[in-house]
Amino acid sequence: MDWLLDPLSYDFMRQALLASLLVGILCPVVGTYLIVQRMAMLGDVVAHGVLPGLAIASFFNLPILLGAFSMGLFSTAVITWIRTQSRIKVDTAMAITFSTFFSLGITLLTVFRSRVSLEQLLFGDILSISPSDVWQIAAIAGLVLVGVALFYKELLFFTFDPLGAEALGLPVNTINLGLMAGITLAIIAGMKTVGVILVVALMVGPAATAYLLVKELHWMMLLGAALGVLFGVVGMYSSYYLDIPSGPAIGLTVFAGFLLALLFSPRQGIVGRWVAAIPRQSPGT
Q: What digits encode the pLDDT tens for the residues 119-148? A: 667 667 777 788 888 898 899 999 999 999
pLDDT at residue 113 is higher than 90: no
Question: Is a pLDDT exceeding 90 seen at residue 234?
Answer: yes
- Mean pLDDT computed over 236-257: 89
For 233, counting Cβ atoms within 10 Å of its Cβ (0-12 exposed, 13-18 middle, 19+ buried), the class is: middle
* pLDDT over 70 at 104, yes or no: yes
Per residue in 146-194, pLDDT (tens digit) is 999 999 998 988 888 888 888 888 888 888 889 889 988 998 888 877 7
Which pLDDT belongs to residue 123?
67
- The total of other beta-carbon atoms located within 10 Å of residue 143's CB is 15
Q: What is the pLDDT of residue 167?
A: 85
pLDDT above 90: percentage of residues in the chain = 27
**Closest by Cα among 207, 275, 201, 153 to 47:** 201
What pLDDT does residue 283 have?
57
DSSP letters of 188-234?
HHHHHHHHHHHHHHHHHHHHHHHHHH--SHHHHHHHHHHHHHHHHHH
Q: Helix (H, G, I), strand (E, B), or coil: what is residue 117?
A: coil
d(CA 102, CA 107): 9
Asked if residue 36 has pLDDT above 60, the reply is: yes
Q: How confident is the model at residue 256 (pLDDT cuts 50, 70, 90)?
A: very high
Gyration radius from the chain CA atoms: 20
pLDDT of 281 higher than 60:
no
The letter for the amino acid at 27 is C
State the pLDDT at residue 118.
Answer: 66
Tell me what the pLDDT averaged over the chain comes to.
Answer: 86
Q: How confident is the model at residue 7 (pLDDT cuts 50, 70, 90)?
A: confident
Of 88-97, 149-158, 181-190, 275-284, the range with the lowest mean pLDDT is: 275-284
What whole-number distance in Å separates Cα of residue 11 and Cα of residue 144? Answer: 27
**CA gap 252, 273 in Å, rounded:** 25
Instruction: Indicate the DSSP class of residue 62.
Output: -
Q: How far apart are CA 44 and CA 53, in angstroms?
A: 15
Q: What is the Cα–Cα distance from 111 to 191, expressed in whole angstroms? A: 22
